[in-house]
Amino acid sequence: MDTADLSTDTAELLALYEQMVLIRRTEKAAHDLFLQGLVKGTTHLAAGHEAIAVGASAALRADDYVFATYRGHHHAMARGAGPEECLAELMSRATGLCGAKGGSMHLTKAATGMLGSYAIVGAHLPMAAGAAWSARLRGTGQIAVAFFGDGATNIGAFHEALNLAAVWKLPVLFVCENNLYMEYTPIADVTAVARPAADRASAYGIPGESVDGNDVVAVRETVARLAERARAGDGPALLEAATYRHFGHSRSDPAAYRPAEEVERWLKHDPLDIARGRLTERGVPAETVTAADERAQEAVRQAVDAAKNAPAPDPGDALTDVWADGGAAWRT
């Protein structure tokens, strides 16, 4: 079956699926490259979280703003960054998204409204409120979305951002990717309420919802609804998306602190499987899905090659881009 024969809805779902596979494959490649010593520093892989990024992005306008965390590869890609520029950044190449100045934790694609990945927990939540404020001031109808982890709900910036957004009725969505753990500590051990994000919404008088973060369709629908509300001037909302990470917290963390039974249960609740299931339900033949898988695999293979062959940054670039004039002079 040619994808042209699919209904619009189903074709879109297939496209979302393919995007998720592309992210998953890229994450897997990043992991392998890290183990091979080709990725320096650290990585925080989002394999398992794909449906949140892809589902939310599908519900947004092209000119909306997205703010992500150090675990942000999926958001950069969902907003249009290709596997090559992402992997090149991780591999310290001049062709990386940030010219190898940022690294895995700071993937940014400003041209498509993906305004950055921030590595200090919670710091970007007020920024997203500010971007939403700006949209309101400029009357553009844009909204801003901040993605963050369950652990971020206990930091002060979370509280300040949510209250400000609520008081100013800003068009901003706060989307928590609750993967049950901060780094190695279960979130339940350090959080006073059961749903770290959704159960806090009442403290700001805003809607607090939960969604299956591994179901791309559910995420897209929920975000679309909350986005419409925000765009209409009804203010911010807090969405908690349940998910799980397939890799450890970062680098080569084997995540031994997670009970085997829990891991197994969640691996069975995989966003790709769920989407594949939905495609099958809708009558999409297995070969069509496999073709999407293969396209993604091939794209990542080529991206890895290209990134490997890309040049290293010029050391002199270390002294550019501090100031808007492109330079770094702090004195005369």
Ligand X SMILES: Cc1ncc(C[n+]2csc(CCOP(=O)(O)OP(=O)(O)O)c2C)c(N)n1
**Residue 229 near its own copies by CB under 8 A:** no
Distance CA 170, CA 131 (A): 9
Nearer to its own copies, 113 or 196 (CB): 196
Return the C-alpha torsion angle 248, 250, 254, 258, nearest 10. -40
Stretch 201-260 residues interacting with other proteins (CB under 8 A) = 257
Stretch that binds its own copies, among 54-62, 63-71, 159-167, 251-259 (CB under 8 A): 159-167
C-alpha closest to that of 136 among 236, 237, 62, 238: 236
**Residue 205 near its own copies by CB under 8 A:** yes
**Residue 120 near other proteins by CB under 8 A:** yes
- Please give the size of the binding site for its own copies, defined by CB under 8 A: 23
Q: Contacting its own copies (CB under 8 A), which of 1, 62, 110, 193?
A: 193
Q: Which among Mg ion, other proteins, ligand X, none contacts residue 128 (Cβ within 5 to 8 A by kind)?
A: other proteins
Q: Contacting ligand X (CB under 6 A), which of 149, 207, 235, 248?
A: 149
Distance CA 270, CA 99 (A): 33
Joined tokens for residue 144: 């801003």
Distance CA 75, CA 56 (A): 9
Residue linked to tokens 């703003």:
65
**Residue 127 near other proteins by CB under 8 A:** yes
Nearer to ligand X, 120 or 286 (CB): 120
Distance CA 281, CA 274 (A): 11
Q: Which among other proteins, its own copies, Mg ion, none contacts residue 204 (Cβ within 5 to 8 A by kind)?
A: its own copies
Contact 136, 170 (CB under 8 A): yes
Stretch that binds other proteins, among 129-137, 210-218, 225-233, 282-290 (CB under 8 A): 129-137
Site string for ligand X, 88-127 (x = CB under 6 A): -------------------------------xxx------
Contact 42, 258 (CB under 8 A): no
Cβ partners under 8 Å of residue 73, min gap 6: 23, 26, 27, 30, 45, 46, 86, 104, 107
Binding residues for Mg ion, rule: CB under 5 A, are 149-150, 179
Binding residues for ligand X, rule: CB under 6 A, are 71, 119-121, 149-152, 177, 179, 181-183, 249
